[in-house]
A = this chain, B = another copy of it.
Amino acid sequence: MRIAVVAPSCTLKPEAAAALRRIVEQRGDCELAIHPQCFLSSGHFAGPDEARLAALREVMADPSFDAVWFARGGYGSNRIADAALVELPEAARTKVYLGYSDAGFLHGGLHKAGLEVAWGPMPQDVVREGGEAAVTRALDWLVRRDPSTLEPALNGPAMAFNLTVLSNLLGTPLEPDFTGVDLLIEDVSEHLYRIDRTMFHVASSPAIRKVRQIRLGRVNDILPNDPDFGGSAADIVAHWCTRSGIAFGGAADIGHDAANRVVPFGRAG
């Protein structure tokens, strides 16, 4: 199993790359190619749009890679996602794409184009508290599709998105078909009034109303609401599901943390 790491959003920390290389070496069951583009920096991004796109297209087109692992989130993959999907090389269809958070823009477009994508931990997660377990979970899934790495209640076709990313891809060419899927959402570093506003937007979408149900992962690092919002993130999601005729399926085991599980898109897992 050969795994390419590229950074379509923000710059990978060198200490994360080093820690990941040590883990992969100890495992001995896969080979990691961390693209030099991961360490570029241009304003907010891991290099200019052109460099991030070129690295992504390079590894997509390389038949020697079995997987493309997005280095980290942050912001920026939406700026290159449409161009990444133009004239897809055949080799792009024979590999799996793993990541979460901002990578959701790519997940939407890649899944829509028929490619295999999954939500799951990313290389930069290794520097989190407990991060070795997170990247080990991702590698266990990539290398041997270990079922213990999966979100435990998957039951039929599923997708997972950061809620704010999902809101920003609705109505764009990156929007996939949500019909009949269990839609798992999570968020991080938002005020509850923003979660409410984003749920209004997402739940008002006719495309989203075609899901089988919505399940809520962790909403971490909630920013202080002034005044107190008057309800929890779960209350908010349940409220908008009820108003919108969407089934609310309760909690999901995903989030911006080391416990984040794997959610393969569009199938039972």
- Which residues of A come within 8 Å of B, CB atoms? 41-45, 74-76, 78-79, 167-173, 192-194, 196-198, 200-201, 204-206, 225, 227-231
Contacts and interface: CB of A to CB of B under 8 A. Distances in A.
Contacts of A173: 204
Contacts of A168: 167, 197-198, 200-201
A228 B201 CA distance: 29
B171 A205 contact: yes
A75 B197 contact: yes
Those 6 A-B pairs whose CB atoms lie nearest each other, nearest first:
A43-B230, A172-B204, A168-B201, A75-B193, A44-B229, A171-B171
A162 to B, nearest CB: 11
Contacts of A196: 44, 75, 79
* A42, A79, A205 — most chain B CB neighbours (10 Å): A79
B44 A225 contact: yes
A50 to B, nearest CB: 14
Contacts of A204: 171-173
Contact of A44 (B41, B167, B192, B205): B192
